[in-house]
Each structure stands twice: as C-alpha cells, then as structure tokens.
Structure 1
Amino acid sequence: MNCPDLYLPIALFIDDDHTLHLWVNRYLSNAGFRVISCFDGEQGIEIFKEMSPDIVLIDIQMPILDGFETCRALRNLPNGKNTPVIMMTVTEDPEGIAHAYACGATDFVVKPVNWEILIHRLHYMVKASHNLRRLAQNELRLSKAQKMAQLGDWEWHAIRNSLHWSNEIYALLGLDIDDFTPNTRNFRDFIHIADVPYVLRHLRTIIKTKKAATVEFRIITSTHQERFVVQQIEPLLNHKGSFIGLVGIIQDITERKEQENKIRHLAYYDYITQLPNRVFFLQFLTKTIELAKRNKRHFAILFLDLDGFKGINDTYGHQVGDMLLKEVSTRLTDGLRCSDLASRFFDYFDHKVDVARLGGDEFIILLNELAQPEDAATVAERIKRWITKPISLGDRQMHIGVSMGITVYPHDGDDSGTLLKNADMAMYHAKKLGKGHYQFFHKGMALRAEKRLEMETYMNLAVAKNELRLHYQPVVDARSGRMIGAEALLRWQCPQLGFLPPNDFISLAEENGMINQFGAWVIREVCRQYSIWQQQEFDDLTISVNLSSLQFNQPSFIPMIESTLQEYQVDPAFLTFELTESMIMADTDKMLVKLNELKKLGIKLSVDDFGTGYSSLSYLNRFPLDYLKIDRSFVKELSKSQDAAAIVNAILALAKALNLKTIAEGVETDQQKQFLQNTTCDAIQGYYYSKPVPVEEFQHFWTLTNKAILQT
C-alpha cells in the first residue's frame, strides 16, 4: 500500500457479485477512494470493526446475511452510528426502500449503477460525515476549555445586590468600564428579548437547586450587534450551605455558532435546492406526530414525483436538471408561504419545514392541522397548477408535470416510516394512472404492494430454478395452410404462485430490470430447441421472439445474440425478432445501427402490432424490416366493420409496395381466415389454428398439419 493511500477515504463494498466488485474497484479507486471488498455480510461486519471505513455500500440480496440484517448490525456497532451506509438494489420498490431506511440506511442506489452520479453522492456523504464528526469533536474540546479558560467572569452577591464584571465582559458588550456600572436590571437589557424568559428560567433553577448549569443565549451589544454567548453559572454558598449569590464565566461563541450552522446546513439541507433534506424532514415529522398525538390533531403528507424530469435531465444535462429543481422548489415554497394549510414549524435557523427534497425528483410536503382530508386535495390541485406552468431556463421553455401520493395522520399510519412509505406507495399508483394525477392512500395499495414484492422475490430466482417455460403458437401459410413458423411466448411456472401468463409478470420484470435475464433466457431456449429440431429434421420453419426495449437497448445485447448463435450452431435465418413501432421510433439513428447489425447476422425483423403505434410510416422504407404483423384489434373487427377491412387492405397494399411480408395475428374465426385468404396476406396466426402450446404439443401439431397437407 502506498503512503498516500492511507489518507484516502475508505469505501467498504459488501456484495456477493464478483463482477460488480471489479466495477466498484475500477470506478471508486479512480475517484479517490480506497476500496475494501467483502463478499458477505458477516465478513463485512468484521472488516468494519477493524477498519472503521468512511462509507459502506451493501447489496440487499446476499447469502448468509442479507443487506438489511448487515446494515442493522453495523448501526449497532460503537463505530457504526454515523457512518454513511448506501443500500444497492435492482428495483425502486417503495416497501424495500422503506425497510432499508428503517434498518439505518443513509441512502439507496438502483442497479445498474450510474457510476458518475454515485461517485458525486459518495464524496458528498463522506464530506458531510467528516464535518459532523469534526463538529462533535469541537464541541467536546470546547466543553473542556470552558472549565479551564477565564475568558470573562462575573459575580453577583444577593444580599447587597451587587454585580461585578471583568474587563472582557465590558469589551464583549462594547462598553466603557469608566462610564457604566452593571446591575441585574441593565444586564437583563443586553439579553436578546426573545431569550430573556429562557435565561431567567435557568437562573431561578440554579438558585432553587443550588446546582451549576450552562446556558447559551443571544446578547445585543451597545452597537446593536447580535452575538451568541455561553455562560457556565454556579451558585455561591456560605459555610452553612445557604445561597448567597452567583458566579459565572461567559464566552463569545458567535463564530463557533456560525460554523455549526454551516455544518448543520450541509448535513440537513439539500445542496441544490437549499430545502430541508430527508434526514431533517424525518426529524420534524417525528416531532409533528408527537404534537398531533398530544393535541389529537390531523395532518397530511404529500409525496411528489416530477413527471418528465428524467427525460429533461438526460437530454439537456444535470446543470439544466438542477436549475429545473431549483425553480420547482421556489414555486413550492412561494406557493405554500401563501397557503394557510402549510405547517409552521421552524428549525434552529428559522427555516420553515413545510416542503423538503427527498432526493432525485422527489419532494415531500407537510400540511398541518387539517380540518378534513379534502383540504389536502385542494393543495394538491394548487401544486399541479404551480408546477405545470411553463418553466423558462435560458432560451429554453420546459414543461413538466407532477404525480402525488397523499397520506393522512393517523388514519394511514401513526409513525413517520409508515406514513412516508404509504405516501410513496400512493404516488406510485398515481403514476400508474398517467401523468398529473394524485391519489390518497388506501389499504388495497399495501396489499397489492405485498403481492408485488412477493412476486418479485420469486422472480429473482425464476431463471436459476428453471421455472420459465416457452409456449409456441403456430404461424401458417395463408393459402396452403402449411405451418411455416411459430411465435415463442414466455410463461412462468412458479411453485408458489402457479402458472402465470406474461400479462401477470412482464410489466413488473420490465420495471425491476429482470426482463433482461428473462429475454436472454428466451433467446437461448429458442436456439437450444431449434438445434434439437435441426437434428430431428424439424427445421423448415422460422421462430419469432418478442423483444423488450429495455433488453434491446442493453450494450451487451448484440454480443449476447452472437455468442448464443455460435454456442448452438444454428442458422440465424430461422430467428425473427419482433419490435413495436414505439421501440423503433424511440431513437431512430441508434435503432438503425442496431437493426443493421442484426440483419448482418442473418436475423429477420418484424414490426409487431402494426397500426397501433407511431403514426408516421416513413421508417418502413428506412429500416431493414422483413415482416409486418397486423394487429389483432383490426383482425377482430373484419367481419363487423368496413373500416377495419379497409385498414387491413391498406396495410397489405403498403407492405406489398415495400416488399414486406405480412402476418395477421389474432385470427379466431373461419370468416376472418377466409377474408385474409382472399387478400395478399402471407401468413395467419391465432386461436383458429392453435393457442400457444408447450413444445411437445407444438411438434405434434406440426407433424399432423404438414402430413395432412402432403396427403391432400
């Protein structure tokens, strides 16, 4: 180890993923951290005891001890109270995140990791942690110094009511020793008027109990300057133990207070918006709950998430994103200042805590003393109006929305963790409704979240436990009826949840990133099965696979396809990838490059559900496509609607002009089949021929169908 390394902040990384350790060492080492790697929670705890790292990153899913248990154990160590701990997870599940904070996590980060942003956050947390540590050390040293240093002293004798000041006190107050005679009345005049009751209360307690005390308060000097002082006051007793007066030492601590305020601001306020942060808000929420419980009052929490912020941040950069956050925070604070429903709690520096930034594009608002829950809805509507107004940033005009979840104390929870978790959950459901909605929490949301979390737990093991299945739906030639291909469709045979069709789990897999594993498994399984069919001479057909945009946009997607084809030694021409119109149009230039790479491999490309997505048809001629799949919604209406028939004929004419083959999906009736057979449609897929079936039934259908055609 180089000597300079000893001065680097230590980052302890606990994760059972060896590959991720390589990435952490690469990025964090280059960013000025000394990285220590551990591969399970127990090892991490022992290293923590020995090394006392500056910051800890823990994966939630680990053997032996999971991330939650490891975090809780670290917080119980003598040197683990204030060390920043970041939990790493593959999903932004509200309940999992709430559990992480309950176990003592400082923050969380979602995999795959944005290393640039994470490194900034790590440096910020380490800096704040070091500053708080220095603050605690300074306070300890000052406490010792106050007992030793005679900075300014005074003495008051009760019997003759005489008060003596040392020269330092005259200098502190800006007074001339020859022109001013101190007494208890004029000394009181120098105390800040707001602090007089506080000081007098302490003096009475010292006189009554005959015990020393330390008092901090503000004074106003003769030049009208406000200063902070601390006094160590002790009672004077005679030989009988009777009270005869007071003696005190006074020290000007204004500079120390200013530094403490700066450090406290760094620790408790968001550095972009200058709003209270999550830590500060949770402290005040706890106090609010105590007051509401004592006074039997209600209040509401509004959990805000900005709609469209990520797109602006990714497109224009973090500087523009930060400016947008500042503008939103200004609109919220200005609006709430005029609202009679916002809370009126104050921190040590007279800042209101009615709005806070939790992180990212999430804000939280506290509405105090609600007369009725509808008041929260009124404020939510106001917030929508404030935020949805156009935002001018330089020469750009931005538009942004907001989704909100609302909880009401005590109906939706009687502690800070539950209220915040339920508000987050309600916000998630509001987002599901589309942009610009708000939702009050109800218990049904919690039940759905539990089921969702349960499914996600099992989902993480589905590939490893070989629970995924493929069903194949035949595609037949429109004229001959001969089977020419199939669409591979994913199913999940979960021992705990039963047999699940894709509609029950694909959306969750896309949200938590598991769709990448599932998609890779589907492609490997299709190639493996086709290699078996090649050996059995069942190889005169094409198999189509649906692609997720998340999977398709992975940098490793093309290399994964190449290695899979090479592993199973199959002809790429058998494989067709189905993409939606919205996927193709998301980033046309990058999409064109990737589609051409797939075409070079020999893979065919199809547009799925054609006619239901992006309205422009210019990409059909630009992109290297092979098939158009006519959406089932048009096929379903063929026998009932002339408009549907006209749309299908138009799609067929367009495809023919562009030399693209066509497949009609969702064919269920003989009328639909006959209509399509009398057009230029090339192939048919649907329940009229077969539902999606397991591989054994598919092979049987294949054999019978093609044998019957040969016989005729």
Structure 2
Amino acid sequence: MLVDDDEDLLKLYQLFLEEKGIDVRTLSDPTAALNVINHFRPELIVLDLYMPACSGIELGQVIRQHHRLANIPIVFLSVEDNPDKQLSAIRLAGDDFLTKPIEPWRLTQSILARVRRARMVNRYIRALVKDLAYKERHDSLTGLPNRRVFEMRLKAALDRQRQQARGVTALMLMDIDNFQHVNDVYGHEVGDALILDMAQRLQSAVPDEAVLSRQGGDEFALLVQGLDSFETVRRFCAQLNRVAALPFFVTGQEIELGLSIGVVLCTGREGMGPKDLIKQADTALYHAKEVAKGGFVFFEEAMAEELRHRVALIHDLRRAIQSGQLVLFAQPQFDCQSRQVCGAEMLVRWQHPERGLIPPGDFIPMAESSGLIVELGSWVLREAVRCIRHWQAQFGWHLPVAVNVSPHQFMQETFVEEVGVAIREAALADGLLELEITEGVLAQNPGLAVDSLNRLKRMGVRIAIDDFGTGYSNLAALKQYPLDLLKVDRSFIDGLPEDDNDAAIASTILSMGRHLGYRTLAEGVETQAQLDWLRQQGCDAMQGYLRARPMPLDQFEEQWVSHRMDKGAGR
C-alpha cells in the first residue's frame, strides 16, 4: 500500500509495481488510511514522510497501536536526506527509509525485496504461533492433550450429558504403579521412555473419540463417552489393566509396571463441574492404589469422607512428630539356647491426644505414602540412640538395639551421614545400634546399598535384613552385603512346626544363614512348639509374644535392663 499526497507519483509507482505482479492500493489522503488498511491488509506499507493532513510518522505510530496491524512493515519515502531525521523516523514508527527522487524500477526492486523478507518473517511468526498454540494445549513428552484441554473437553461432555444423556460417560484417572522406584533405579531418561510407551499403549487401546490426556508425572486421564452399560466400563478398565501389565523393554531392560485406575461415572448432575469429578476420580484412584494396585476402583461417596479423615490424620501426624506425641516401645529379643535377653527392637507408637494410642499399622503406611516416613524415621533414630546412650551409661547395656529403616529413608543421600552424626554425638560403642532394612532396599539399587552398608559397618553399626524370605533379593548375591543378622519373617513361623511348607522355608533360611556366617532371629514366635522347633534347627534368637510383647521404655528398662543386665558383662 502506497500513501502519498502526490497523486501523479502514486499512479506511476502503481503502474510499475502492478507490471511485476504486485497487488497495489494507493491513497493520497492519509486520514482514510486505517480504514483501507483494515480491509486490504497489505504485506507492506510505504508512507510519504511529509503530507499536509498528517505526517508519515504520525500515521505510522497510529498503525503501530493496532495489535492486528503492528507487524506490517512500514517504509518511509521522502526527500528528507538528513541521516539523523531518517533514523529518527525509523525509531518512531518505521522499518526502513527510501529517499526521493527514486526511479520507479528501483522502488519496485526495493519493495519486492522487502515483501519477500516480510513474507519470510510472517511465515516464521505463523509457525511460531502455531507451535506455541500446540504446546499450550499438549503435553511436551507424549503429545497428548494437557490438563487444561482435558478439563475443557470434560466440561463440554458434561454439558452434552445434561442436555441429552446417551449411554454412559466415564472419567478415569490412571497412575503407573511403582514408577517412582523405576525412575530412581534406572534414571529419568528411562522413566520418560516408559511414560511415552505407556501413552502409546493406552492410545492404541481406547476408542478414537475418547480423550486421553497426560495430567503430569506418571498420571493420565481418560474420558470415554457413549458406553452402553456399567459392565462395559468394567470390561474396558480391565482391558487397560491388561495392556499396561505387559512387559516394557527399554534400553535392553525388561521392566514390569502396572496401572491403577480410579473411575467416576458422569451423570451430568447439576452443580458438578469438571474439577469436582476429577477430585472424585482422584479419590477413587487413591483407593485403587491402596487396596487394588494394578486394578480399578469406582468412586463411592464414602471414599470422600475416608479421604478427608486420612488428610486430617496426616496433618495430625506431622504435628505429632514435632510436638512430642510419638513414643518408643521396646520388644526384647532372646537367645534361643540360653533364653537370656540378647537385644531389643525399638518400635514407634503414636499417643494421639484425642484418639489415644494409635498402633503402627494405622499410621506407618500413611507416613510411607505421604513422604512423612523420612521425618518419622529420623525421629525414631535420634530417640533410639539417645535411649541406648542412657542405658549404656546408666546400666552398662552392651547388647544391640534394632531400629527399622524404611526403603525411602535408606535411599536418602544424607541417611548414612545422619546415622554417623547421631552415633558420634552419643559416643555409642560399636555394635550397640542395629539397623533393620528390607530385602527390597537391596533389590532397588544393589550398588548404592553395598556402598551405604559398608560405610555404616565402618561406623560400628550392625546390619539386619528384616522380614527375610518375603522380598526379591538375589540370594546368590546376598553374600556381597556386609550383614550381621537375618530375621525370618513371621509368615514362615506361624505354621510351625505342623506346616511342612513353612518348615521347609524356615529351615532353608536358617541353614543359609549359618553357612554365610550370619546370625538368625525368628520373628513372631508365639508358642512353645515353635520355639522348640527353632532351637532344634539352630536358630540363634527369637522375638515374639511367647516371651514378651512390645512395652513402654520405662517398663522395659525396669524389667529387662536394670534388673537383668550384668553391668560390664561381655557379649
């Protein structure tokens, strides 16, 4: 578009430009320029700098204020030959400056060059805008619709459901089971590859009209409409579980995962928005991970109340750790042959100000799932070391005291140093602190486990494997770990001596312990017949209700420390 008060010059320029195939609009009245520009939408605007009605700079500044026109290049055309004024015009509103008089053919050349450049810039801008619009609506890793788009699609589905209900509409939230463990062991690159593979599997298993979204992390959402019955929804969920359970192969590794699914049926009920339904599905997902891992659970109203109760309990537990509501109990351990106390295990209890004494089975799993287990475990470790120091100084206690360590706590980078600080501050003698870890810790990251256990052993810490026989450790590799004790899980003790399977497993573990040079301890011994069988099999120690239940520390100290310890006796 050419704007100049010299109409003869405009006609000359227009003739040359149109001969080159350029569509041209000319205008001698700059006050009408905006209206023409809005209709014509030129790729380039050429403005005379000095015009009677208004200057080219003034018109250029007006054009620049309209966001839909602001990207159109503006070239000033004038007899002005002062470089400073030309530069000032460009800074105020323009992109380039041409000086009159200029031959029509040279003006045509200059405009063609600038139009080509403008088209390249516009193509780049359009591609960039398209890319940004895509990224704003899609997950960067999987290419699936993101949370924002999913909620928009869910809202539209609810509106349709309210207007005309056709079939069953189901919302599903899905979470990859044990993904965090895989991510920790194999690294984030493998984790990303698994998420991408899972997304592709799910995409291939859902109808074309369904909406599959990645919500973030290892969580997906799925909206399926037009299903013919509740039973169809169940079969569909079961199919997704089967697809997700097939082995994954990433960087030469075979990895097995699963998918937990929370399901809510969308009824189109008034007052229920997308966020409300997603919250219900999330509640159902939580229950699926708790009671049906690798399966699916449909939302029920009672779940919401249970979840509110859990959230309140987590809040109370966090406060309990900080305010002294937690207490330690101790359960003595006995030598199977001499029947004397040979150690103790520290167990945490929660003295809730309103609910009374809460057993560990009610809050330890909750602490694990909420991440509070690290803070809780640190408290138990500090208190246990303080107690051991007191018994050592006061009564000459010289037997190991065991403290359970959760897998999540053990995997913390600062864990070994935390233990070292506690031992140094209490000036504990070697062998008084025993840490119980599960087989799962060894299986998660064998290299890290060996390094951490060796560092702990150099500090004088004893190492026990808790619940031995229930995990997935490589028995052939067990000898590489610097262990002191194998604790036979109570599930293999319950059926003794009558149950042949329990007897075979327990005797194998005891025999293996002897050959590897480890002491053995049986958990959950409740009958004399069990103890007699364990003695015959050469088990070193036992722990269970047959001899003593867990008890408050003052009772334990009175009953088993102050009266039964021979001060200064050897081990």
For residue 148 of structure 1, the aligned residue among 19, 29, 34 is: 34
For residue 171 of structure 2, the aligned residue among 293, 301, 304 is: 301
**Paired residues for 1:601-640 under 5 Å:** 601-614=459-472, 616-640=474-498
- Find the counterpart in structure 2 of residue 676 from structure 1: 534
For residue 574 of structure 1, the aligned residue among 432, 440, 447 is: 432
- Please say if residues 396 and 565 of structure 2, whose CA atoms lie closer than 8 Å, have aligned partners that are also in contact: no
Give CA deviations for 1:634-679 in whole Å, capped at 9, x if unaligned.
3332232344344444433332333322222222222223333444
Give CA deviations for 1:173-226 in whole Å, capped at 9, x if unaligned.
xxxxxxxxxxxxxxxxxxxxxxxxxxxxxxxxxxxxxxxxxxxxxxxxxxxxxx
Q: Normalised by the size of structure 1, how large is the TM-score? A: 0.58
How far apart in 2 are the matches of 1:321 and 1:273?
Answer: 13
How far apart in 2 are the matches of 1:643 and 1:376?
Answer: 41
Q: After the TM superposition, which of the residue ranges 389-398 and 425-434 deviates more from structure 2?
A: 389-398
- Find the counterpart in structure 2 of residue 277 from structure 1: 146
Paired amino acid for 2:285: M
Give CA deviations for 1:242-282 in whole Å, capped at 9, x if unaligned.
xxxxxxxxxxxx97987655443232222233322111121
Q: Normalised by the size of structure 2, how large is the TM-score? A: 0.72
Give CA deviations for 1:594-643 in whole Å, capped at 9, x if unaligned.
11111111111112222232364324422221122222223332232344
CA deviation after TM superposition for structure 1 residue 467, in Å? 0.8
- Find the counterpart in structure 2 of residue 596 from structure 1: 454
For residue 364 of structure 2, the aligned residue among 480, 500, 506 is: 506
Larger Rg over CA atoms: 2
Query: Alpha carbons of 1:493 and 1:575: their partners in 2 closer, same or farther (altered >3 Å)?
Result: same
- Please say if residues 667 and 673 of structure 1, whose CA atoms lie closer than 8 Å, have aligned partners that are also in contact: yes
DSSP-derived class of the 1:460 partner? helix
- Please say if residues 374 and 409 of structure 2, whose CA atoms lie closer than 8 Å, have aligned partners that are also in contact: yes
- Find the counterpart in structure 1 of residue 137 from structure 2: 268
How far apart in 1 are the matches of 2:500 and 2:206?
Answer: 56
DSSP-derived class of the 1:532 partner? helix
**Paired residues for 1:463-502 under 5 Å:** 463-502=321-360
Do structure 1's residue 355 and structure 2's residue 212 form an aligned pair?
A: yes
DSSP-derived class of the 1:636 partner? coil
Paired amino acid for 2:345: E
Query: Alpha carbons of 1:415 and 1:569: their partners in 2 closer, same or farther (altered >3 Å)?
Result: same
Structure 1 unaligned blocks of 5 or more: 1-144, 154-167, 173-253, 344-353
Do structure 1's residue 375 and structure 2's residue 375 form an aligned pair?
A: no
DSSP-derived class of the 2:322 partner? coil
Paired amino acid for 2:388: Y
How far apart in 1 are the matches of 2:251 and 2:477?
Answer: 34
**Paired residues for 1:41-56 under 5 Å:** none
DSSP-derived class of the 1:449 partner? helix
DSSP-derived class of the 1:551 partner? helix
Query: Alpha carbons of 1:294 and 1:549: their partners in 2 closer, same or farther (altered >3 Å)?
Result: same
CA deviation after TM superposition for structure 1 residue 296, in Å? 4.6
- Find the counterpart in structure 2 of residue 97 from structure 1: none
Aligned-pair Cα RMSD in Å: 3.4
- Please say if residues 483 and 705 of structure 1, whose CA atoms lie closer than 8 Å, have aligned partners that are also in contact: no
CA deviation after TM superposition for structure 1 residue 335, in Å? 4.5
- Please say if residues 607 and 628 of structure 1, whose CA atoms lie closer than 8 Å, have aligned partners that are also in contact: yes
For residue 432 of structure 1, the aligned residue among 284, 287, 290 is: 290
Structure 2 unaligned blocks of 5 or more: 1-30, 44-121
For residue 520 of structure 2, the aligned residue among 646, 662, 674 is: 662
Query: Alpha carbons of 1:452 and 1:520: their partners in 2 closer, same or farther (altered >3 Å)?
Result: same
CA deviation after TM superposition for structure 1 residue 593, in Å? 1.1
How far apart in 2 are the matches of 1:317 and 1:679?
Answer: 44
Paired amino acid for 1:367: V
**Paired residues for 1:177-256 under 5 Å:** none
- Please say if residues 492 and 503 of structure 2, whose CA atoms lie closer than 8 Å, have aligned partners that are also in contact: yes
- Find the counterpart in structure 2 of residue 546 from structure 1: 404
Q: After the TM superposition, which of the residue ranges 328-337 and 520-529 deviates more from structure 2?
A: 328-337
CA deviation after TM superposition for structure 1 residue 384, in Å? 4.0
- Please say if residues 565 and 572 of structure 1, whose CA atoms lie closer than 8 Å, have aligned partners that are also in contact: no
CA deviation after TM superposition for structure 1 residue 520, in Å? 1.2
Give the count of matched residue pairs.
457
Do structure 1's residue 456 and structure 2's residue 314 form an aligned pair?
A: yes
How far apart in 2 are the matches of 1:418 and 1:632?
Answer: 44
How far apart in 1 are the matches of 2:561 and 2:203?
Answer: 71
**Paired residues for 1:295-374 under 5 Å:** 295-296=164-165, 298-307=168-177, 309-310=179-180, 313=183, 318-319=188-189, 321-338=191-208, 342=209, 354-374=211-231
How far apart in 2 are the matches of 1:690 and 1:373?
Answer: 52
- Find the counterpart in structure 1 of residue 16 from structure 2: none
**Bigger relative contact order (CA 8 A; separation at least 6):** 2
How far apart in 2 are the matches of 1:455 and 1:393?
Answer: 40
Identical amino acids, percent of aligned pairs? 33
How far apart in 2 are the matches of 1:396 and 1:587?
Answer: 15
DSSP-derived class of the 2:320 partner? coil
CA deviation after TM superposition for structure 1 residue 322, in Å? 4.3
CA deviation after TM superposition for structure 1 residue 425, in Å? 2.0
- Please say if residues 185 and 445 of structure 2, whose CA atoms lie closer than 8 Å, have aligned partners that are also in contact: no
Query: Alpha carbons of 1:472 and 1:315: their partners in 2 closer, same or farther (altered >3 Å)?
Result: closer
Give CA deviations for 1:447-486 in whole Å, capped at 9, x if unaligned.
2211211111111111210011111111122233222221
Do structure 1's residue 287 and structure 2's residue 153 form an aligned pair?
A: no
Query: Alpha carbons of 1:679 and 1:706: their partners in 2 closer, same or farther (altered >3 Å)?
Result: farther
How far apart in 2 are the matches of 1:648 and 1:543?
Answer: 24
